[in-house]
Structure 1
Amino acid sequence: MAWTVYGAFCQFRDEVVDLPPELTEKARLSLYSITTRVAELAEQKSDFPRLGAEPLVYGSFARKTQCQPLDDLDLLVVLEPGSARPTSIRRDRFGFDLEASRGPLARFTGAFLDDVNSRSVLDAIRNEIKGLRDLEVESVDRRLQAVRLKLDFYDWNFDLVPAVPVVKDGMTQHYLIPNGNGDWWRTDPRADADRLTAALNRHGKAFLSLVRLVKYWNATQKPRLGSYHLETLVANVMQDKGKMYTLDLPELLARCFGRLTDAVFQPCPDPKGLGPDLDLGVDWLRRTQISENASWAAYFTEIALEYDKDGETEDAFGAWRDVFGKAFPSYGSE
């Protein structure tokens, strides 16, 4: 039973927010299965883009910032670049053309241009991926940047994102992924992994718990921020001379919500320095509504801290339920 705020947060995280260990292991096995089957498909189907390396797991699951429910897993399907060469384009300051007059990507160019069309690559993956057994065919769809599929024995989707490595002096500098318009944007999940490692070295594991709690809160709100955008904002605002000032989650939440109130109005550049700003497309009305939601969350967290400090634990539980909803344990609940 939860009789203390500390105990309530432990119960809340274990039962509601964090992915259970057995689910995490099942998800990892499913990624291995998909990776193996995609590799087999690429070998068997000549129309499937030629693979250049093992797929890379990325996204919230890879960064260990995924909260429940687990709804999708992201894979970069690394393609063989051959002699393909990226060039920047004027119409999109973050966009790139990918020129390939020959090599494995040349068949995805237009009739009169040597530019690889990322939509054509997505279509080729989409058309061939339907050959996977146990696949819910209707769930396969070409999206802006990925081919989404669902196997009938998993509860989550798989987003397959074609990625072309940009190599210099034998080293992969970054990857090009579809931008939704037929061109390409840069990304590099390795940079995200390095950034997370640095955050953990600075702040400890409390940082991951904080991110997952704020993501869970965000998922209960309307409107909501994109997952990666929010994660980046949390990392940006929760630094005090390089470190979080406390490891106490309730206090961290109060500080985080208070700072997010203003942070959502600020530009949020891609922390990798490769792609467009993460707040691209978030209009002023939506920012205002999200800021108001964060302001209310900050208000109730402060009230909860005061109640707990004064020994009014049951009232503190009620204030935390105002933040996270009825999924947060009630006082004395099992």
Structure 2
Amino acid sequence: MDTQVGTAFSHFYGSITPPDSYLQLAMRRVRKLATDITRASSMDGPWYAFLGYRLMGSYARRTAIRQSSDVDVMFEFAAGDSPHAHDSLSLLTYLEECLSELLGGAADLSRMREVVSVSFPGEVTIDILPCIKSSRGGYLFPGGFGRWAVTDPDTQNAYFKERCDASRIDLSKFTRGIKQWNVENGGILRSYHLEAMVANVADKLGDNYSIATLRFYETYAEGLSVQDPAGQQGDLSSYLTPCQRKAVSVLIENYRNKAHLAVSAQDDRRYTQAVEAWARVYGPCFPSPDEQ
């Protein structure tokens, strides 16, 4: 890749990456919450013993971007003897009430009733996923509206590490760029789905970010389906309505053409025009030639 184009990509990835201090602050808050929950007296209703926490999601995989920077953390509990102890909504409500008491009401259930969101104004937002270890492997977590769902972060982490190792580029960095593109175009695709899409083609992306972008669009212009690498959720594109699926496919086809023009400009050594073309692909966070 030409130095001018390579520098533009480097500046782009740097501009969309959250500072290390953001995660460090979030984890200090998490450690304090974990300590307080451990010490908290039991509340009315089903009782759960707090066992520990772990970072998960985009920050754990180094794929978080500034415009979608909530920190995801899993809190593991052991269920008590109450007949309601294995009800997902009871677990979620228990965590919300416990955190609200500790923080003076700053904890809220998500709209889909899957996580408890804790906001520290001017600092960080932390989404806490309460889980119980499953006897069949993985963890049970509230799947929305009282349902249970299953996650397996160990299998996820092993898969994404293997795919990063198979790639000839920095896959986490490239994933952040694709997430930023998604945000700039309405944010229809979910974060985990996008990460799995990128990981699925990790060994086919080539050795630079220009070619990787073009190959990503070429692959998914034909369809958005990709299986959950943890083997729990099936087709990760299943949340899309037919209308959304069509809209995203048209969008990717359009950006495949834009990426092709950018790569052609590079091949012709028209590097300034190539940088301008990549800015039309990735949006205003991608630097123009006079911003480098």
Would you call these one fold, judging by a TM-score over 0.5?
Answer: yes
Q: Distance in 2 between matches of 1:292 and 1:78?
A: 41
Q: Distance in 2 between matches of 1:280 and 1:37?
A: 35
Structure 1 segment 21-32 matched on structure 2, within 5 A:
23-32=19-28
The equivalent residue for 1:12 is: 12
Q: Distance in 2 between matches of 1:221 and 1:245?
A: 22
**Aligned in 2, Cα 1:33/1:245: closer, same or farther, shift over 3 Å?**
closer
Kindly state the Cα deviation for residue 69 of structure 1 after the two structures are TM-superposed: 2.8
Runs of 4+ aligned structure 1 residues displaced above 3 Å come to none
Structure 1 segment 224-243 matched on structure 2, within 5 A:
224-236=188-200, 238-239=201-202, 243=203
Correspondence 1:140 to 2:108: yes
Kindly state the Cα deviation for residue 249 of structure 1 after the two structures are TM-superposed: 0.6
Deviations 1:215-271 (A, max 9, x none): 1101111352001011111222x25xxx3352211011011011111131x3x3322
AA partner of residue 57 (structure 1): L
**Aligned in 2, Cα 1:70/1:218: closer, same or farther, shift over 3 Å?**
closer
RMSD of the alignment, in Å?
2.3
**Aligned in 2, Cα 1:69/1:55: closer, same or farther, shift over 3 Å?**
same
Tell me the matched-pair count. Answer: 288
The equivalent residue for 1:302 is: 260
Given that residues 52 and 80 in structure 1 are in contact (C-alpha distance below 8 angstroms), is that contact kept between their aligned partners in structure 2? Answer: yes
Q: SS in structure 1 opposite 2:101?
A: coil
Identity %: 21
Kindly state the Cα deviation for residue 105 of structure 1 after the two structures are TM-superposed: 5.1
Max radius of gyration: which structure?
Answer: 1
Q: Which of these residues, 52, 58, 61, is aligned with residue 59 of structure 2?
A: 61
The equivalent residue for 1:108 is: 84
The runs of 5 or more residues in structure 1 that have no matched partner are: 82-103, 110-115
The runs of 5 or more residues in structure 2 that have no matched partner are: none
Correspondence 1:255 to 2:218: no
Q: Which of these residues, 175, 188, 201, is aligned with residue 211 of structure 1?
A: 175
Greater helix proportion:
2
Q: SS in structure 2 opposite 1:332?
A: helix
TM-score (norm 1): 0.79
Q: SS in structure 1 opposite 2:134?
A: strand
Kindly state the Cα deviation for residue 139 of structure 1 after the two structures are TM-superposed: 5.6
Kindly state the Cα deviation for residue 314 of structure 1 after the two structures are TM-superposed: 2.1
TM-score (norm 2): 0.90
Structure 1 segment 76-155 matched on structure 2, within 5 A:
76-81=74-79, 104=80, 106=82, 108=84, 116-133=86-103, 137=105, 140-143=108-111, 144-154=113-123
Structure 1 segment 163-312 matched on structure 2, within 5 A:
163-167=131-135, 173-222=137-186, 224-236=188-200, 238-239=201-202, 243-244=203-204, 246-264=206-224, 266=225, 268-312=226-270
